[in-house]
Chain A
Amino acid sequence: MSLIPWRNKKEDGGAGQLTPLGEFRGEMNRLFESFLRDGFNFGERATGLPSLLSNWGPAVDVEETDKQIRVRAEIPGVKAEDLEISIRGDALVIAGEKKGSEERSEGGYYYQERRFGSFRREVTLPTAVDPDDVRAEYANGILTVELKKSLEALPKKIAVKAT
Protein backbone atom coordinates (compact mmCIF):
# COMPACT_ATOMS: atom_id res chain seq x y z
CA MET A 1 0.00 0.00 0.00
CA SER A 2 1.70 3.17 -1.07
CA LEU A 3 0.33 6.56 -0.25
CA ILE A 4 1.33 9.67 -2.08
CA PRO A 5 1.95 12.49 0.36
CA TRP A 6 -0.52 15.27 0.01
CA ARG A 7 1.29 18.49 -0.71
CA ASN A 8 0.12 21.88 0.19
CA LYS A 9 -0.13 24.19 -2.78
CA LYS A 10 1.62 26.91 -0.88
CA GLU A 11 4.76 24.79 -0.89
CA ASP A 12 4.84 24.96 -4.65
CA GLY A 13 5.24 28.68 -4.60
CA GLY A 14 1.56 29.34 -5.15
CA ALA A 15 -0.76 28.95 -8.16
CA GLY A 16 0.84 25.61 -9.00
CA GLN A 17 3.95 27.32 -10.38
CA LEU A 18 7.26 25.96 -9.25
CA THR A 19 9.62 28.75 -8.47
CA PRO A 20 13.12 27.61 -7.52
CA LEU A 21 12.76 29.13 -4.09
CA GLY A 22 9.34 27.60 -3.49
CA GLU A 23 10.61 24.23 -4.65
CA PHE A 24 13.58 24.46 -2.34
CA ARG A 25 11.41 25.46 0.57
CA GLY A 26 9.04 22.58 -0.09
CA GLU A 27 11.93 20.16 -0.25
CA MET A 28 13.34 21.47 3.03
CA ASN A 29 9.92 21.20 4.67
CA ARG A 30 9.59 17.62 3.57
CA LEU A 31 13.07 16.75 4.79
CA PHE A 32 12.37 18.40 8.10
CA GLU A 33 9.06 16.61 8.49
CA SER A 34 10.58 13.27 7.64
CA PHE A 35 13.32 13.92 10.18
CA LEU A 36 10.77 14.74 12.87
CA ARG A 37 8.91 11.59 12.02
CA ASP A 38 11.71 9.11 11.50
CA GLY A 39 14.68 10.71 13.21
CA PHE A 40 17.99 9.36 12.00
CA ASN A 41 16.32 6.30 10.61
CA PHE A 42 16.92 7.08 6.95
CA GLY A 43 15.01 4.18 5.56
CA GLU A 44 12.96 3.56 2.50
CA ARG A 45 10.69 6.52 3.07
CA ALA A 46 13.47 9.03 3.40
CA THR A 47 15.53 7.79 0.48
CA GLY A 48 12.60 7.00 -1.77
CA LEU A 49 14.16 3.70 -2.76
CA PRO A 50 12.21 0.46 -2.69
CA SER A 51 13.14 -1.82 0.16
CA LEU A 52 14.87 -4.33 -2.10
CA LEU A 53 17.36 -1.77 -3.34
CA SER A 54 18.03 0.13 -0.17
CA ASN A 55 20.32 -1.62 2.22
CA TRP A 56 18.13 -1.38 5.27
CA GLY A 57 19.23 -2.09 8.78
CA PRO A 58 17.28 -2.94 11.90
CA ALA A 59 16.69 -0.47 14.71
CA VAL A 60 19.08 -1.01 17.62
CA ASP A 61 19.45 -0.08 21.25
CA VAL A 62 22.92 0.14 22.74
CA GLU A 63 23.39 0.15 26.51
CA GLU A 64 26.62 0.54 28.37
CA THR A 65 27.42 -0.63 31.87
CA ASP A 66 30.75 -0.67 33.71
CA LYS A 67 31.93 -3.93 32.26
CA GLN A 68 29.88 -4.62 29.17
CA ILE A 69 28.01 -3.26 26.20
CA ARG A 70 24.67 -4.72 25.22
CA VAL A 71 23.22 -4.26 21.76
CA ARG A 72 19.61 -5.14 21.02
CA ALA A 73 18.08 -5.19 17.57
CA GLU A 74 14.52 -5.70 16.40
CA ILE A 75 14.73 -8.29 13.64
CA PRO A 76 11.44 -10.18 13.49
CA GLY A 77 11.07 -13.12 11.15
CA VAL A 78 14.63 -14.29 10.74
CA LYS A 79 16.05 -17.68 11.61
CA ALA A 80 18.89 -17.60 14.13
CA GLU A 81 21.17 -19.40 11.69
CA ASP A 82 20.56 -16.72 9.06
CA LEU A 83 22.03 -14.01 11.27
CA GLU A 84 25.65 -13.10 10.82
CA ILE A 85 27.35 -11.22 13.60
CA SER A 86 30.95 -10.08 13.46
CA ILE A 87 33.26 -7.54 14.96
CA ARG A 88 35.23 -5.38 12.58
CA GLY A 89 37.60 -2.92 14.15
CA ASP A 90 35.54 -0.86 16.54
CA ALA A 91 32.19 -1.82 15.06
CA LEU A 92 29.72 -4.63 15.55
CA VAL A 93 28.22 -5.78 12.27
CA ILE A 94 24.79 -7.40 12.17
CA ALA A 95 23.80 -8.83 8.82
CA GLY A 96 21.33 -11.33 7.50
CA GLU A 97 18.42 -11.90 5.26
CA LYS A 98 14.74 -11.69 5.98
CA LYS A 99 12.64 -13.80 3.69
CA GLY A 100 9.45 -12.39 2.25
CA SER A 101 6.13 -14.12 2.55
CA GLU A 102 5.43 -14.14 -1.18
CA GLU A 103 6.08 -17.87 -1.57
CA ARG A 104 2.84 -18.56 0.25
CA SER A 105 0.81 -16.20 -1.85
CA GLU A 106 -1.14 -17.28 -4.90
CA GLY A 107 -3.31 -14.26 -5.40
CA GLY A 108 -1.06 -11.38 -4.48
CA TYR A 109 -0.87 -8.95 -1.63
CA TYR A 110 -3.51 -6.84 0.00
CA TYR A 111 -1.05 -5.22 2.35
CA GLN A 112 2.67 -5.25 2.19
CA GLU A 113 4.23 -3.30 5.00
CA ARG A 114 6.88 -5.66 6.26
CA ARG A 115 10.39 -5.25 5.05
CA PHE A 116 12.38 -8.10 3.67
CA GLY A 117 15.58 -8.76 1.82
CA SER A 118 19.12 -8.66 3.05
CA PHE A 119 20.01 -6.18 5.72
CA ARG A 120 23.16 -4.96 7.34
CA ARG A 121 23.80 -2.71 10.28
CA GLU A 122 27.07 -1.47 11.66
CA VAL A 123 27.11 -0.24 15.23
CA THR A 124 30.17 1.67 16.35
CA LEU A 125 31.21 0.54 19.80
CA PRO A 126 32.18 3.17 22.34
CA THR A 127 35.12 1.23 23.76
CA ALA A 128 37.38 -1.65 22.82
CA VAL A 129 35.78 -5.05 23.43
CA ASP A 130 37.10 -8.56 23.87
CA PRO A 131 36.32 -10.18 20.50
CA ASP A 132 36.56 -13.67 21.99
CA ASP A 133 33.92 -13.07 24.64
CA VAL A 134 30.78 -12.12 22.73
CA ARG A 135 27.41 -13.68 23.41
CA ALA A 136 24.54 -13.44 20.98
CA GLU A 137 21.01 -14.61 21.53
CA TYR A 138 17.91 -14.44 19.36
CA ALA A 139 14.46 -14.79 20.89
CA ASN A 140 11.02 -13.67 19.72
CA GLY A 141 12.43 -11.49 17.00
CA ILE A 142 14.90 -9.62 19.19
CA LEU A 143 18.64 -10.13 18.83
CA THR A 144 20.69 -9.44 21.95
CA VAL A 145 24.47 -9.21 21.70
CA GLU A 146 26.54 -8.86 24.86
CA LEU A 147 30.11 -7.71 24.53
CA LYS A 148 32.64 -7.55 27.33
CA LYS A 149 34.82 -4.49 27.46
CA SER A 150 38.49 -5.32 27.02
CA LEU A 151 40.76 -4.96 30.04
CA GLU A 152 42.39 -1.84 28.62
CA ALA A 153 39.02 -0.16 28.34
CA LEU A 154 37.97 -0.79 31.92
CA PRO A 155 38.28 2.22 34.19
CA LYS A 156 41.33 2.13 36.42
CA LYS A 157 41.61 3.81 39.73
CA ILE A 158 44.76 5.78 40.30
CA ALA A 159 45.83 6.35 43.83
CA VAL A 160 46.94 9.82 44.68
CA LYS A 161 49.79 10.05 47.13
CA ALA A 162 49.92 12.90 49.53
CA THR A 163 53.36 14.41 49.71
Chain B
Amino acid sequence: MSTVNVHQKAHGQTEEARAERTRGGQAYRPHVDILESKDELILVADMPGVKHDNIDINFEEHVLTIQGRVEPRYGEGVNFLLYEYGVGDFYRTFRLSEEIDSTKIHAEHANGVLTVYLPKSEKTKPRKIAVTASA
Protein backbone atom coordinates (compact mmCIF):
# COMPACT_ATOMS: atom_id res chain seq x y z
CA MET B 1 0.00 0.00 0.00
CA SER B 2 1.37 3.34 -0.94
CA THR B 3 0.77 6.15 1.50
CA VAL B 4 0.55 9.59 0.08
CA ASN B 5 1.02 12.86 1.82
CA VAL B 6 -1.71 15.27 0.98
CA HIS B 7 -0.71 18.92 0.96
CA GLN B 8 -2.95 21.85 0.98
CA LYS B 9 -1.76 24.29 -1.62
CA ALA B 10 -0.15 27.36 -0.13
CA HIS B 11 -1.08 26.27 3.35
CA GLY B 12 1.40 23.55 4.06
CA GLN B 13 -1.01 21.34 5.97
CA THR B 14 -0.63 17.68 5.34
CA GLU B 15 -2.79 14.70 6.00
CA GLU B 16 -2.21 11.11 5.26
CA ALA B 17 -4.37 9.73 2.50
CA ARG B 18 -6.66 7.20 4.04
CA ALA B 19 -7.44 5.07 1.07
CA GLU B 20 -5.09 3.25 -1.16
CA ARG B 21 -4.16 5.14 -4.25
CA THR B 22 -2.95 3.65 -7.45
CA ARG B 23 -0.77 6.59 -8.31
CA GLY B 24 2.00 7.66 -6.02
CA GLY B 25 3.51 11.08 -5.78
CA GLN B 26 2.32 14.27 -4.28
CA ALA B 27 -1.32 15.06 -3.84
CA TYR B 28 -2.91 18.33 -2.83
CA ARG B 29 -5.87 18.97 -0.60
CA PRO B 30 -8.28 21.20 -2.49
CA HIS B 31 -9.76 24.25 -0.82
CA VAL B 32 -13.46 23.75 -0.27
CA ASP B 33 -16.56 25.65 0.73
CA ILE B 34 -19.43 23.73 2.26
CA LEU B 35 -22.77 25.49 2.33
CA GLU B 36 -26.15 24.50 3.51
CA SER B 37 -29.44 25.17 1.83
CA LYS B 38 -32.91 24.01 2.78
CA ASP B 39 -32.72 20.69 0.96
CA GLU B 40 -29.05 19.93 0.60
CA LEU B 41 -25.45 20.54 1.49
CA ILE B 42 -23.30 21.94 -1.30
CA LEU B 43 -19.60 21.19 -1.42
CA VAL B 44 -17.54 23.43 -3.70
CA ALA B 45 -13.92 22.48 -4.34
CA ASP B 46 -11.27 24.40 -6.26
CA MET B 47 -9.41 21.91 -8.43
CA PRO B 48 -7.55 23.87 -11.08
CA GLY B 49 -6.06 21.87 -13.91
CA VAL B 50 -8.30 18.84 -13.55
CA LYS B 51 -10.13 17.71 -16.64
CA HIS B 52 -13.73 16.62 -16.47
CA ASP B 53 -12.91 12.96 -17.16
CA ASN B 54 -10.25 12.80 -14.48
CA ILE B 55 -12.52 13.46 -11.53
CA ASP B 56 -13.46 10.57 -9.33
CA ILE B 57 -16.06 10.84 -6.59
CA ASN B 58 -16.66 7.93 -4.28
CA PHE B 59 -19.02 7.36 -1.43
CA GLU B 60 -18.43 4.43 0.82
CA GLU B 61 -19.27 3.83 4.46
CA HIS B 62 -20.24 7.46 5.06
CA VAL B 63 -16.96 8.72 3.63
CA LEU B 64 -17.06 10.88 0.54
CA THR B 65 -13.78 10.89 -1.36
CA ILE B 66 -13.03 13.35 -4.11
CA GLN B 67 -10.05 12.81 -6.33
CA GLY B 68 -8.84 14.74 -9.32
CA ARG B 69 -6.03 13.59 -11.53
CA VAL B 70 -3.83 16.35 -12.93
CA GLU B 71 -1.78 15.65 -15.99
CA PRO B 72 1.80 16.82 -15.81
CA ARG B 73 1.93 20.13 -17.58
CA TYR B 74 5.59 20.52 -18.21
CA GLY B 75 7.95 19.09 -20.73
CA GLU B 76 11.64 18.58 -20.37
CA GLY B 77 14.17 21.34 -20.59
CA VAL B 78 11.91 24.25 -19.71
CA ASN B 79 13.54 27.24 -18.14
CA PHE B 80 11.38 28.42 -15.25
CA LEU B 81 11.58 32.00 -14.13
CA LEU B 82 8.81 31.60 -11.56
CA TYR B 83 7.48 28.38 -10.12
CA GLU B 84 4.86 29.22 -7.55
CA TYR B 85 2.43 26.37 -7.59
CA GLY B 86 2.98 22.67 -7.45
CA VAL B 87 1.39 20.31 -9.92
CA GLY B 88 -0.18 17.20 -8.52
CA ASP B 89 -3.40 15.34 -7.99
CA PHE B 90 -6.13 16.53 -5.66
CA TYR B 91 -7.41 14.30 -2.90
CA ARG B 92 -9.70 14.89 0.04
CA THR B 93 -12.13 12.89 2.14
CA PHE B 94 -15.19 13.98 4.09
CA ARG B 95 -17.20 12.08 6.64
CA LEU B 96 -20.91 12.50 6.06
CA SER B 97 -23.67 11.86 8.52
CA GLU B 98 -26.55 9.55 7.89
CA GLU B 99 -28.70 12.55 7.19
CA ILE B 100 -27.41 12.62 3.63
CA ASP B 101 -29.28 10.66 1.04
CA SER B 102 -26.32 9.05 -0.66
CA THR B 103 -28.35 7.73 -3.58
CA LYS B 104 -29.10 11.27 -4.71
CA ILE B 105 -25.59 12.75 -4.58
CA HIS B 106 -24.75 14.45 -7.84
CA ALA B 107 -21.95 16.70 -9.04
CA GLU B 108 -20.98 19.17 -11.70
CA HIS B 109 -17.69 20.60 -12.87
CA ALA B 110 -16.90 23.92 -14.53
CA ASN B 111 -13.82 26.16 -14.81
CA GLY B 112 -11.75 24.01 -12.51
CA VAL B 113 -14.37 24.01 -9.76
CA LEU B 114 -16.15 20.85 -8.64
CA THR B 115 -19.57 21.22 -7.04
CA VAL B 116 -21.05 18.24 -5.21
CA TYR B 117 -24.69 18.34 -4.16
CA LEU B 118 -25.52 16.28 -1.09
CA PRO B 119 -29.29 16.12 -0.65
CA LYS B 120 -30.64 15.72 2.86
CA SER B 121 -32.63 12.60 3.41
CA GLU B 122 -36.39 12.89 3.67
CA LYS B 123 -36.55 11.94 7.30
CA THR B 124 -34.33 14.85 8.43
CA LYS B 125 -36.20 17.51 6.52
CA PRO B 126 -38.49 19.58 8.69
CA ARG B 127 -42.06 18.63 8.13
CA LYS B 128 -45.18 20.56 8.86
CA ILE B 129 -47.95 18.55 10.38
CA ALA B 130 -51.39 19.65 9.50
CA VAL B 131 -53.82 19.81 12.33
CA THR B 132 -57.33 18.91 11.51
CA ALA B 133 -59.98 20.38 13.63
CA SER B 134 -62.40 17.86 15.03
CA ALA B 135 -65.63 19.02 16.35
B131 at the interface (CB under 8 A from A): no
B112 and A140 contacting across the interface, CB-CB below 8 Å: yes
B33 at the interface (CB under 8 A from A): yes
Among A7-15, A16-24, A35-43, A153-161, the stretch that binds chain B is A35-43
How far is the CB of B94 from the nearest CB of chain A, in Å?
9
In the assembled complex, the Cα of A72 lies from the Cα of B36 at a distance in Å of: 34
In the assembled complex, the Cα of A64 lies from the Cα of B79 at a distance in Å of: 5
A75 at the interface (CB under 8 A from B): yes
Closest to A37 in B: B12
Q: Collect the chain B residues with CB atoms within 8 Å of residue A43's CB.
A: 10
Q: How many residues of B contact A (CB 8 A)?
A: 35
Q: How many residues of A contact B (CB 8 A)?
A: 43
A74 and B81 contacting across the interface, CB-CB below 8 Å: no
Quick one: which of A93-109 are within 8 Å of B by CB? 100-102, 104-109
How far is the CB of A62 from the nearest CB of chain B, in Å?
4
A112 and B46 contacting across the interface, CB-CB below 8 Å: no
B135 at the interface (CB under 8 A from A): no
**Contact string, A31-66, partner B, CB cutoff 8 A, digits 1/0?**
000000111110101000000000000011111110
Q: Which of A37, A109, A140 contacts B11 (CB 8 A)?
A: A37
Q: Collect the chain A residues with CB atoms within 8 Å of residue B42's CB.
A: 101, 104-105
How far is the CB of A16 from the nearest CB of chain B, in Å?
28
A65 and B78 contacting across the interface, CB-CB below 8 Å: yes
A114 and B44 contacting across the interface, CB-CB below 8 Å: yes
B35 and A110 contacting across the interface, CB-CB below 8 Å: yes
B48 and A142 contacting across the interface, CB-CB below 8 Å: yes
In the assembled complex, the Cα of A61 lies from the Cα of B83 at a distance in Å of: 5
B49 and A141 contacting across the interface, CB-CB below 8 Å: yes
Q: Collect the chain B residues with CB atoms within 8 Å of residue A65's CB.
A: 78-79
A6 at the interface (CB under 8 A from B): no
Q: Collect the chain A residues with CB atoms within 8 Å of residue B12's CB.
A: 37-38
A76 and B47 contacting across the interface, CB-CB below 8 Å: yes
Closest to A43 in B: B10
Q: Collect the chain A residues with CB atoms within 8 Å of residue B79's CB.
A: 63-65
B64 at the interface (CB under 8 A from A): no
The interface of chain A, by Cβ under 8 A from chain B, is 37-41, 43, 45, 59-65, 69, 72, 74-79, 100-102, 104-115, 123, 126, 138, 140-142
Given A75-B112, A104-B35, A142-B112, 6 other A-B contacts at CB below 8 A? A38-B10, A38-B12, A61-B83, A79-B111, A101-B42, A101-B44
A-B CB proximity, top 4 nearest: A141-B112, A141-B48, A76-B112, A107-B36
